[in-house]
């Protein structure tokens, strides 16, 4: 069966079985939305924010791109910046979550730029992760680590760097100054389902919710 046909059948089941059961909810969302969080994560097909967080329609404003990147604010037309500004200024979301994940192809590209050398658009985009790579080297210069550990640490560092980039956006700065916004950094482990959240007090990513 062609995948487009598979999706068409899925839409049919949604219209016949799912939508009728939640008709009132969808009708209430028809003219407005008031999401509780901007969820900025990777475009990776294995990441399903609503499944991971068990949230429903209207609860998450989702921005996805390779490497869960929040570009440093500039006057250039960058779609991610527009999503950030709209979520915080227009929708007034009280939370922004930047969520990285294990086995991320973008993080592998940051770690090994030669792997994306023949994809110039990807290579340019991943330069927003250069600072994370620099910090990885600064933490343990010359250290002998296996590839998995380096990838894990770079994934975490990239989340922290993108949170810093996020704070360069005027809408974010204003909302933080007004005390109506909180920033969060998460990492999702595909193979275990674990979500680790950054704890600024300890400087570590810890299981969330911590057990």
CA angle at 94 for the pair 27 and 62, rounded to the nearest 5°: 60
For the chain, where are the alpha helices, taking DSSP H only?
3-13, 19-21, 23-28, 49-53, 79-85, 105-111, 120-126, 130-139, 147-166, 170-177
Q: How far apart are CA 101 and CA 165, in angstroms?
A: 18
Question: Does 209 score more than 80 pLDDT?
Answer: no
Taking the model in full, what pTM does it have?
A: 0.93
Overall average pLDDT of the 140-161 stretch: 86
Q: Where are the domains of the chain?
A: 1-28, 33-207
Please say whether the dihedral angle defined by the alpha carbons of residues 33, 14, 42 and 75, taken in this order, is positive or negative.
Answer: negative
pLDDT for position 75:
83
Summarize pLDDT for 96-147 with one digit per residue, the tens.
999 999 999 999 999 999 999 999 999 999 999 999 999 998 876 555 678 8
Between 146 and 25, whose confidence is greater?
25
- Residue 104's nearest CA partner among 116, 96, 95, 119 is 116
Strands (E), 15-83: 37-42, 60-65
The secondary structure of the chain in percent helix, strand, coil, rounded to multiples of 5, reads 50, 15, 35
Cα–Cα dist 146/32, whole Å: 49
Using an 8 Å Cβ cutoff, are 113 and 123 in contact?
yes
CA nearest neighbour of 171 among 91, 63, 100 = 91
Write out pLDDT tens, residues 34-76: 999 999 999 999 999 999 999 999 999 999 999 999 999 998 8
Q: Which of 52-69 are b and which e, b meaning 16 or more Cβ less than 10 Å from the residue's Cβ?
A: bbeeeeebbbebbbbbbb
* Superfamily covering domain 33-207: Carbonic anhydrase (3.40.1050.10)
In the predicted structure, residue 174 carries a pLDDT above the cut 70: yes
Residue 144 has phi, psi (to 5 degrees) of: -95, 105
């Amino acid at each position: 069966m062609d995948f487009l046909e598979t999706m068409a059948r899925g839409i049919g089941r949604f219209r016949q079985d799912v939508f009728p059961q939640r008709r009132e909810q969808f009708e209430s969302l028809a003219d407005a939305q008031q999401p509780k969080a901007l969820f900025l994560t990777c475009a990776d097909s294995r990441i399903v924010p609503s499944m991971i967080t068990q949230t429903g329609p209207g609860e998450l404003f989702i921005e996805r791109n390779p490497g869960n990147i929040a570009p440093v604010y500039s006057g250039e037309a960058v779609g991610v910046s527009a999503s950030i500004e709209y979520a915080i200024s227009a929708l007034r979301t009280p939370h922004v979550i930047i969520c990285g994940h294990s086995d991320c192809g973008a993080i592998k590209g940051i770690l090994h730029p030669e792997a994306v050398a023949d994809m110039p658009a990807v290579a340019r985009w991943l330069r927003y992760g250069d600072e994370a790579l620099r910090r990885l080297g600064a933490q343990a210069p010359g250290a002998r680590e296996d590839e998995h550990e380096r990838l894990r640490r770079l994934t975490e560092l990239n989340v922290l760097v993108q949170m810093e980039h996020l704070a360069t956006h005027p809408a974010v700065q204003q909302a933080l100054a007004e005390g109506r916004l909180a920033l969060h950094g998460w990492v999702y482990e595909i193979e275990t389902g674990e979500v680790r959240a950054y704890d600024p007090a300890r400087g570590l990513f810890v299981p969330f919710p911590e057990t």
